[in-house]
Amino acid sequence: MKIGEHNFIQQLRLQNEKALLYVIDEYGGLLMSIIRKQLFGVPHRQDECFNDVLLKIWQNISDFDESKNTFKNWAAAVTRYRAIDYLRQYQREAATVDIDDAVIVKEDRILARMIERELSEEVEMMLDSLKPVDRDLFMKLYVEEQSIQQVSRETGMKQEAIYNHLSRSRQKLRRQFRIERGV
């Protein structure tokens, strides 16, 4: 059976390896460009991440819902979040490795700052989807680590209203996160 645009998803669900080869041929360039963008500072992890993304697609194709998203967008979201996971893993490893060479340590610190900035940008993108009031509440409570009482006094909002805003915002962020991850 020839694998093509019309049947590759069905064949992936049937665990046909030829369908995975089709994904590599058709979408590999896109997936690799997402990985390179996210992991530009750690090129030695890019191929490993690409292989891991293919494994995730292979293992989780049953989670893909054609009615909610295109395969291209779903696979791109899987790739993006897997690459972010690789960044976090590298950041943890870089923080725990004791290296005597000052030049390497300096490069690791620069890379760690770049990774932190990239992760901060991801958080900012998610928070940008919230209403300004909700985003402000998130920032005050979770970034500035103010108490509910402080925020209530500062904004003039009742604590119950703040909790309601936060609850709705967290639900929205969870839905957005699940859609972007294709879950």
Question: Using one digit for the tens of pLDDT, what is the confidence trace for 109-147?
Answer: 676 677 666 656 766 777 778 888 888 887 777 667 778
Q: What is the pLDDT at residue 57?
A: 94
Q: Which of the given ranges, 46-50, 101-105, 124-128, 163-167, has the highest pLDDT on average?
A: 46-50
Provide the CA 183 distance to its chain's centre, in angstroms: 12
Q: What is the mean pLDDT of residues 152-163?
A: 89
Q: What is the pLDDT at residue 133?
A: 87
Q: What is the pLDDT at residue 105?
A: 58
Q: What is the pLDDT at residue 146?
A: 79
Is 0.75 topped by the overall pTM? Answer: no
Q: What is the mean pLDDT of residues 5-17?
A: 93
Q: What is the mean pLDDT of residues 149-173?
A: 86
**Percent residues over pLDDT 90 in the chain:** 36
**End-to-end Cα, the chain, rounded Å:** 29
The identity of residue 111, as a single letter, is L
Band of pLDDT at residue 106, cut at 50, 70 and 90: low
Band of pLDDT at residue 170, cut at 50, 70 and 90: confident
Q: What is the pLDDT at residue 171?
A: 82
Question: Using one digit for the tens of pLDDT, what is the confidence trace for 91-100?
Answer: 877 776 554 4
